[in-house]
Structure 1
């Protein structure tokens, strides 16, 4: 990928970072990244994502190997996903309120509404409250994620992986909402209510109708670099 293309991708990473902050999906902690090619990805600056400035440099990280100096230790989660899933184009580590609450209970959301179906067969659970800052824990956490696009980590929030960073941003919103629904079901005493089955979930989890693009537009509206953003089709050139 050429330098100009990397900068285009970096702009998308910055826009996603600020969107996560505005939506309350991250606070002081959290990070997002987008794949460059089979061997590299680009991660947002190591700072509160809402504070990422227009034009601020992102960091190129190898899919395999040590993290560059200054990159947060939990970016090993991103490395592991990109290594195991060649189709993954974007990863977000976030600590949103409902996901944090449900993860602290050691539970994951059932497929109760449309957004939840995007995590079939079920959201993964990493049942360890320690921060994931080494390769062994990263491997364990992503193994617990299984075939899902989402993972809850007990006491530590969530991770989602999408085919693009645009998709991952939508998935972060969806997972937070699925956790909200699950907590409401638990609070109401109706957690035993029927859930969406595998076949219906597969049909519902569509990408047609600009599903993820519209969520991207919603969450990034008003961003200072938004007019120059490329969206889902411009994030990868591999």
Structure 2
């Protein structure tokens, strides 16, 4: 499997699926120009092939045939975030739990800071299948790199689709840590300066995490009964 962070979006989808971050629902995209991106078509991310993608014009008034309805979320994030090179949309169970009980998930451990800071919750519990809802969710995401969607999973952003996938894995982990810490008491959130220090250190460590995810997904595929 391609270890590069610029791996094809269907390869990224295979990794996300193999690591249990999606079931039947989820999509991956990557920016292809200032005004276009490509996104995985409707289907099982575990089995999609490179030809099963569709190109989307960020300025178009409608989505092209084959694009998932929630491509509007990707469109509006790319519009609002010129730095975004890839997006992953998934449904880790931990994200459902955290988004049900808070409006912001503050990092309580260092790696959670690689999500860009405190993770906001978009509180409208419905599918994001319109330009208006996509724009509202993108505004809630703002400058951080992860957004919890109440009752609807999560979305993460990266310089590439591979880095966005690494952040989705981190988000699942961070949500689990947050839930356990709050169940045990009142955890100490990371201070802003500490978050900034972790964010500064993030780029090579996110690349390392993506490489590890690819290797583990490949091992899972080779396991007996997989």
- 2:28 aligned partner: 32
- 5+ long unaligned stretches in structure 2: 219-226
Report SS of the residue matched to 1:210: helix
Residue-by-residue CA offset, 1:8-53 (whole Å, 9 max, x unaligned): 9996101100000011111111111011010111111211211223
Aligned runs of 1:1-238 on 2, under 5 Å? 12-53=8-49, 55-65=50-60, 66-189=62-185, 192-207=186-201, 210-221=204-215
Post-superposition shift, 1:170?
1.0
User: How many angstroms apart in 2 are the aligned matches of 1:111 and 1:104?
Assistant: 17
CA contact (8 A) 1:111 1:117 kept: yes
- 2:221 aligned partner: none
User: How many angstroms apart in 2 are the aligned matches of 1:159 and 1:89?
Assistant: 14
- 2:224 aligned partner: none
Aligned length: 214
CA contact (8 A) 1:126 1:154 kept: yes
User: How many angstroms apart in 1 are the aligned matches of 2:71 and 2:14?
Assistant: 18
Post-superposition shift, 1:109?
2.3
Tell me: CA distance 1:222–1:153, structure 2 relative to 1, closer, same or farther (3 Å): closer
Post-superposition shift, 1:130?
1.1
- 5+ long unaligned stretches in structure 1: 1-7, 225-238
Post-superposition shift, 1:222?
7.0
Residue-by-residue CA offset, 1:60-100 (whole Å, 9 max, x unaligned): 11112121112111111100111111111001111011112
Report SS of the residue matched to 1:46: coil
CA contact (8 A) 1:106 1:154 kept: no
Residue-by-residue CA offset, 1:79-135 (whole Å, 9 max, x unaligned): 011111111100111101111221233444211112211234421211111111011
CA contact (8 A) 1:10 1:58 kept: no
User: How many angstroms apart in 2 are the aligned matches of 1:98 and 1:50?
Assistant: 21
Q: TM-score, normalised by structure 1?
A: 0.83
